Chains A and B, each alone.
Chain A
């Protein structure tokens, strides 16, 4: 190893410039990671294949600015030099650098990293007075020459750079090593890849525009409070309604008669027309100005206004952003475009971006479908021939219990596609059709490996008696299809050939399944008080509760609903300053007053009188479900009366352990209410208007259907077993 030195000028922690000398070791054997290597390099891991027409080595500037073009999978044989990677790291930051690293690790992209700065013969020390980008270009060029010679000229090497003087200087120095600009390269070598050329043009244009921008601010600064008050009084400023949590009212401005923006870092939208878009250092609330009447539609059809086409953000964060600074806006009107935001200058009203891909005209089916997929970060590239072919040749009998081989076969794409996507008119399978329809499916009469779960349910109490997990070999005697399974679940009569007498049993069991679902939901309510309790149970529940302890706040107390094991908070004072006070007949309502908290009781004093809530006193609360747009639904407990609830006469008098009695009662009650609800639904169905033939054919199956069943199964699979205690919630496996 040869030891050299390099001199760096860094900034110390105190901000002073420091001259630092660092060692630099050079060695002869640096692996080239090419399969055409003639010198027996120790190439481990990802290796460039020799079947490409050329190898391309991007310059530091190209790697920094045009990385997206290099991410196209069609461009193969990319050799990233260490110089280029370090340029990306130092100028673009950690995020871009991590993207580059993941690109290098991804087996689907044909690119490798060559450590040119540690190779003895391709290292170029920086000359005195040489600017950094010239030095980087020189390093990359020497690396390209070394690479070409190392492969003994077997493959031509193309270096792409944006520096025109470098192109002129280096292009004719070595035969076999070509130096081109990025645009020439794309036009010459990839003429059919139109998307790459368009992307290049859009990025280049946005880079140009960014360089020539005005720097005066386009907006006014935040105003001090006195000016605000004066302005509101005089009518110059509009005060937004609603309650703001923070102490400082956020300021913003009106963009146009229909749209306003506010800048605040701590905001939660409660109105459907407001979207919150969070950026790195700030948050924007973009909302529609309404007078509480019908919402105004978006601005696509605004006449006379400059064209503001609708955009969607690629990162899937949602929100509708106005991005007028784009190349050629007129041609993109009424189109859906994927836009990547590059930067947002502090002086500018809008961010800068460039268009990545045009999806098509807004309103067309294909465009909208693609938009929805991209909004939800779903990428569904077709499976490559290699993946499909490999699976058939090497695994004629796929043992899905051996997942490693499958993952090796599919690699990253399996990880990214963890599920099958069902759309209204198509389906994107998780595995190639060959597998999902044939080799991995339980077909009638064919042996298949499977991962199975068997569980025994007691017929009466629906408790799980036994669970067994294991690998099985199944020869299915009948292949159920979705419609038949749906019919069984709905409790309809279904013809299942070859099963004859067993079909009746299946019908009964299917009704158990639907009951199991309902019961399970209410178990959720017992175990986690914040889960959704079906409305059937909760609509009119008034139960005896025990005040168990004082909260640490003056406004609420914690109660325990012994019957269901619920513990929750009950507010005695609400946000408007009203407190709960008792009426003559024992009921409670809200009145203005005050609240005092003592060691063992809370008293509320109003104009009508004083009421006391003692510790361990029995009161009556109403349990209801509080829906929320941003959070999951929660249970809400409200004080109904200060006196104990009169228990219904049907309650069993025999002393039983609390849990078992509560649970079996719960089960019976829910079953009964489910039956009542289904009866009501039947009547309603009878009264429902007749649907047209087409509607009947294509409408969604009734609930509960297979889809909701699968959803429940998925949620169960994610449920934390430890939180469930010993109430056995079955953990189903997935049978392919």
Chain B
């Protein structure tokens, strides 16, 4: 293939969508009877299945005033084009699980269930870009199905950038093309505390401080070198 054109001159992406169009979403709740909550979502060709075991006793009693949320993310071995060797326990899965945990700790009203544990298990059945978003959306539906109160829906989607045009809801070819991509999960009606601004400020100030230090080092080195050659 002589290079993929992610956005044609007429504004069509690889699969025929325009830049702002989402993929087709199809979701079902309440699939299994034996668990508290379950949901299945298809975002384009990305298929995710989420299962929630509602608040039960936490033997270790880690937190005395709220519930512990335990997330596990895994991918089926048949979910990618080539068979996935290690579905559980690899670094990417652990990282994803951590992300999901942080997301739902912010959304679920955990202080209603002290000293208990809520389990969320998400499995990707087919992966075509936007894994994290599909997981978050599926988990939201499953938590609602389980009857656990949340502040708001947690909605997630990816976005990317090609030729100064932002693209919404990236597929696998667009994500892995090496361009910019961003995955975002949020509570659509607000209600969460956003620390992004203050974090960015702090990081930018720190970077400027570092640049000063590096500048000093370079100048000093130049002085030493020119002192040796006697210029």
Q: Which residues of A contact B (CB under 8 A)?
A: 1, 3, 5, 10, 12, 16, 18-27, 31, 89-90, 92-94, 97, 101, 104-105, 113, 115, 117-118, 548-550, 600, 615
Contact = CB atoms under 8 A, between A and B. Distances in A.
B16 A25 contact: yes
B17 interface: yes
A115 B12 contact: yes
Contacts of A23: 15, 23-24, 44-45, 128, 171
B171 A101 contact: no
A94 B17 contact: no
Nearest to A86: B5
B229 interface: yes
Given A3-B24, A600-B230, A22 B2 contact: no
A12 B12 contact: no
B21 interface: yes
24 contacts: A1-B21, A1-B24, A3-B23, A3-B44, A5-B45, A10-B1, A12-B81, A20-B81, A21-B128, A22-B14, A22-B171, A23-B15, A23-B23, A23-B44, A31-B10, A89-B5, A90-B1, A93-B2, A94-B2, A97-B2, A118-B16, A549-B230, A549-B231, A615-B230
A105 to B, nearest CB: 7
A12 B82 contact: yes
B80 to A, nearest CB: 10
A19 B230 contact: no
The 10 tightest CB contacts between A and B, nearest first, are A25-B16, A118-B16, A23-B15, A3-B24, A18-B81, A93-B2, A89-B2, A20-B81, A25-B17, A23-B44
Interface in B211-231: 229-231
Contact of B9 (A5, A20, A22, A101): A101
Interface string B68-82: 000000000000011
Interface in B18-34: 21, 23-24
Given A24-B16, A550-B229, A19 B81 contact: yes
A26 B2 contact: no
> Which among B5, B14, B171 has the highest number of chain A CB atoms within 10 Å?
B5
Nearest to B1: A90
B59 to A, nearest CB: 44
A118 B12 contact: yes
Nearest to B26: A3
A499 to B, nearest CB: 56
B173 interface: yes
Contacts of B128: 21, 23
Contacts of A18: 81-82
Contacts of B45: 5, 21-23
B190 interface: no
A115 B24 contact: no
A332 B128 CA distance: 58
A268 to B, nearest CB: 33
Contacts of A92: 2
Given A26-B16, A104-B9, A113-B9, 4 more contacts: A10-B1, A18-B81, A22-B171, A92-B2
A105 B9 contact: yes
B3 interface: yes
A570 to B, nearest CB: 17
Contacts, number: 68
A25 B15 contact: yes
Nearest to B13: A25
A22 B1 contact: no
Nearest to A22: B15
Contacts of B23: 3, 23
Contacts of B15: 22-25
A22 B10 contact: no
A260 to B, nearest CB: 37
A89 B9 CA distance: 14
Contacts of A20: 81
A615 B12 CA distance: 68
A35 to B, nearest CB: 17
B82 A22 contact: no
Nearest to A8: B1
A23 to B, nearest CB: 5
A694 to B, nearest CB: 57
Contacts of B2: 89-90, 92-94, 97
B229 to A, nearest CB: 6
Nearest to A31: B10
A27 B16 contact: yes
A22 B24 contact: no
Contacts of A25: 15-17, 21, 24
A112 to B, nearest CB: 10
Interface string B116-146: 0000000000001000000000000000000
A154 to B, nearest CB: 23
A450 B231 CA distance: 52
A5 B12 CA distance: 16
Contact of A117 (B16, B82, B229): B16
B22 to A, nearest CB: 10
Contacts of A93: 2
A26 B16 CA distance: 7
Contacts of A115: 8, 10, 12, 16
A118 B17 CA distance: 9
B224 to A, nearest CB: 15
Contacts of B230: 549, 600, 615
Contacts of B82: 12, 16, 18
A115 B13 CA distance: 11
A21 to B, nearest CB: 6
A80 B173 CA distance: 25
A57 B16 CA distance: 22
B146 to A, nearest CB: 30
A694 B16 CA distance: 70
Contacts of B171: 22-23
Contacts of B9: 101, 104-105, 113
A103 to B, nearest CB: 12
A117 B13 CA distance: 12
Nearest to B24: A3
Contact of A113 (B10, B16, B229, B231): B10
Given A23-B44, A25-B17, A549 B81 contact: no
Contacts of B24: 1, 3, 23, 25
Contacts of A117: 16
Nearest to A6: B15
Nearest to B14: A22
A16 B128 CA distance: 19
A412 B29 CA distance: 58
Given A10-B1, A94-B2, A22 B229 contact: no
A115 B10 CA distance: 9
Contacts of B173: 22
A664 B197 CA distance: 61
A538 to B, nearest CB: 28
A20 B1 CA distance: 14
Contacts of B3: 89, 94
Contacts of A89: 2-3, 5
Nearest to B17: A25
A5 B82 CA distance: 19
A144 B8 CA distance: 21
Contacts of B231: 548-549
B222 to A, nearest CB: 15
B170 to A, nearest CB: 12
A136 B5 CA distance: 19
Contacts of A548: 231
Nearest to B11: A115
Nearest to A548: B231
Contacts of A31: 10
B24 to A, nearest CB: 5
B128 to A, nearest CB: 8
A93 B3 CA distance: 9
A93 B5 CA distance: 12
Contacts of A22: 14-15, 45, 171, 173
B173 to A, nearest CB: 7
